[in-house]
A and B are shown apart, each in its own frame.
Chain A
């Protein structure tokens, strides 16, 4: 069976503490609940959560929606986004089934990156993270700059032409972001079965809600 892998990269640095992190948690739970009601998503979508603060950590390995359980998330520390990108590529190598002549592998993974700050890794880690990320083929890969302090320029280097922005990282805007991610996954899980390939850019995803500005 061909899976639709979805990786969520979530900033859990200190600046996310309080309302933002609570909104991320409820947003992720809402995403899982909603996708469980859509049969094609429930059958094909697999979800992984990678968090990053001073270190990057895959807190949920690629898991089918039916078994998915969201662990506790707390916010503290810096913003190791470069390390998170490297970890993402490592996880992808381990977890994604490749297409061979014998087996049709997984669909190209979707990636959603959410951050409210500026990456704090060393420059070489950052550039390694970007180049490793670009060395892989992804389905839709979208970055979300949550709030005014997010580094949009860096995000544009990671996911060119695929950066969306939230004016602030408050509950209603983050909730709108997660709803849009949910719709994007649902649409893709439907589309790959009809079109034979997943979405690759913003153009093939549902239109973002008013809270999300395309950068």
Chain B
């Protein structure tokens, strides 16, 4: 008799539990079930259900379901018993009759129920309530594994996930039937984002010549007469997750005596291996050249008489940018000459460049000449107006940007310099009255994209109000962000903190420099040493010493 029952039981098992391990709660989905499953109805009067058979040697409690997700098989002494074929023949008649009953059982008893919607850890709803028919009773009012919890409710069952993944939750009814609830649980997104330190192979940029480390954080904090300059550069979530370095770089130059300043921002291309070094060389060259006598002479005379795009200052900025590109180019060539196996190309060092040259006029107004290659934004915001000093610079292919380091940019420029000046340079004067309300921004696309999205967005004053008032200012509880503290260091640190804002799908490095009038500031430019990133330079033969 028990063999007959065993056979029947196995038949039912085939219907109910398509795979052997499907009762183990391991979260595996075998996907073999019909989708029309909906009602876990189990009628008490369904015949031939295993535990109904009092003759069965099975334990009175069905083994169909594992407890707490532990797989339980039919006791081995039964499954391992060879069934003589003669026994089967004897039982053929009643079994065929039973098949139709079994089909009925299967029809009302889905083996799997896909719960909807999917849940996400840390988000509401944190559970799913599944209604059950009145006459269904659960085997347990409460069940729990390390993946999930189930609690009996007045009208059904509440399923509460504890971990992410494809959960398989076996629910037993008091008549021994087992239904597997399938539930997809997404991980808490914030838990997926890792913060990793770069490994050694990241740090060793060029084993023979330069070991380059870069801090994940860089700050500029300086008080100029009547002005405060703060800047912050922050490693993006993507670099944190990958364990790679920040590619952005920033810098400035200030000449107190003549009231001339320059601000620089470079954004190394994420796709280029050594772009952070390209960005660093570019900024370093600009800082050096702005301080050099030759530039100073040109700069001094130029700003006074001609700040038009094609004027002397504009030409000077283009020359300096070209010089920065040449320095990167010669660095690549020298490195390859020293070690031919490298086969570096300047593309590996791709970086954008933003330059803003500022001259204070005697009447209290300022003039700004801006030059840029690639994305990123320079803009002057005065509360009731915004002037964008950069122009869109996209390459031939949609979505691509151009880089300082692209030879095609310079080859094209050389064919028509005046067209190049007109397309890449802008010049603007802010009146004394405007200057009092001015914030001059330089920002990488890691900042501008999440806030302004498109060029049309950049031209929208409302977006700028939102950026300054709800974003920067709002993040400090409504107090003025601009100079909330006399102390530039404190302000720069606050800016850096703020740059950690989270926006879906925006993972880039973020760099922002803000220049704004700050009356009553003492002249402490000598304290304004830029807090540059930590670098270890082991320079041999001068290569890399840029």
Contact = CB atoms under 8 A, between A and B. Distances in A.
B32 A39 contact: no
Contacts of A101: 454-456
Contact of A72 (B35, B269, B505): B35
Contact of A43 (B399, B504, B508): B504
Contacts of B165: 33
Nearest to B457: A102
A194 B31 contact: no
Contacts of B504: 1, 43
A26 B166 CA distance: 12
A69 to B, nearest CB: 6
Contacts of A214: none
Interface string B162-195: 0011100000000000000000101101001100
A172 interface: no
B192 A38 contact: yes
B189 A67 contact: no
B248 to A, nearest CB: 13
A197 B397 contact: yes
A2 interface: yes
A36 B164 contact: yes
B31 A102 contact: no
A68 B401 contact: no
Nearest to B30: A26
Interface residues of B, number: 41
A87 B491 CA distance: 55
Interface string B448-492: 000001111100000000000000000000000000000000000
A167 interface: no
Given A22-B31, A101-B456, A194-B271, A40 B184 contact: no
Contacts of B186: 36, 42, 65-66
B276 to A, nearest CB: 13
A67 B31 contact: no
Contacts of A25: 31
A71 B270 CA distance: 38
A160 B35 CA distance: 37
B508 A26 contact: no
A43 B166 contact: no
A190 interface: yes
Contacts, number: 90
B189 A196 contact: no
A83 B456 CA distance: 39
A197 B398 contact: yes
B508 A196 contact: no
B68 interface: no
A205 to B, nearest CB: 15
B437 interface: no
Interface in A1-57: 1-2, 22, 25-26, 29, 32-33, 36-40, 42-44
A190 B455 CA distance: 24
A101 B33 CA distance: 48
B270 A195 contact: yes
B38 to A, nearest CB: 13
B238 A190 contact: yes
A43 B271 contact: no
B34 interface: yes
Contact of B193 (A32, A39, A194, A195): A39
B400 A193 contact: no
Given A66-B120, A194-B270, A196-B400, A39 B241 contact: yes
A104 interface: yes
A66 B271 CA distance: 28
A2 B117 contact: no
B116 interface: yes
A69 B118 contact: yes
B29 A29 contact: yes
B401 A196 contact: yes
Contacts of B421: none
A36 B398 contact: no
B117 A67 contact: yes
A191 interface: yes
B454 A197 contact: no
B498 interface: no
A190 B164 CA distance: 22
A135 interface: no
A69 B119 CA distance: 11
Contacts of B15: none
Given A40-B238, A194-B271, A197-B397, A69 B116 contact: yes
Contacts of B269: 194-195
B114 interface: yes
A191 B271 contact: yes
A102 to B, nearest CB: 5
Contacts of A194: 238, 269-271, 508
Contacts of B241: 39-40
A104 B453 contact: yes
Nearest to B193: A39
B507 interface: yes
A51 to B, nearest CB: 13
B9 to A, nearest CB: 25
Count chain A CB atoms within 10 A of each CB in B165, B270, B505 and give the residue with the most.
B505
B397 A102 contact: no
Interface string B101-122: 0000000000000101110100
Contacts of A40: 238, 241, 505, 507
A22 B455 contact: no
A141 to B, nearest CB: 17
Nearest to B237: A39
B397 A193 contact: no
Given A33-B165, A37-B187, A42-B186, A193 B507 contact: yes
Contacts of A190: 238
B32 A22 contact: yes
Contacts of B30: 26
Nearest to A44: B505
Contacts of A104: 453-454
Nearest to B184: A69
Interface string B392-403: 000001111100
A26 B271 contact: no
Given A194-B269, A196-B399, A197-B398, 20 more contacts: A2-B505, A22-B31, A26-B29, A29-B166, A37-B187, A39-B189, A42-B189, A43-B189, A65-B186, A66-B118, A69-B117, A69-B118, A101-B454, A101-B455, A193-B506, A194-B238, A194-B271, A195-B270, A195-B400, A196-B400
18 contacts: A26-B29, A29-B29, A33-B165, A33-B166, A36-B186, A39-B189, A40-B238, A40-B507, A42-B189, A67-B117, A70-B31, A72-B35, A101-B456, A194-B238, A195-B270, A195-B400, A196-B399, A197-B398
A-B complex: 5 closest residue pairs judged by Cβ atoms: A194-B270, A72-B35, A39-B192, A197-B399, A101-B456
Interface of B: 29-35, 114, 116-118, 120, 164-166, 184, 186-187, 189, 192-193, 238, 241, 269-271, 397-401, 453-457, 504-508
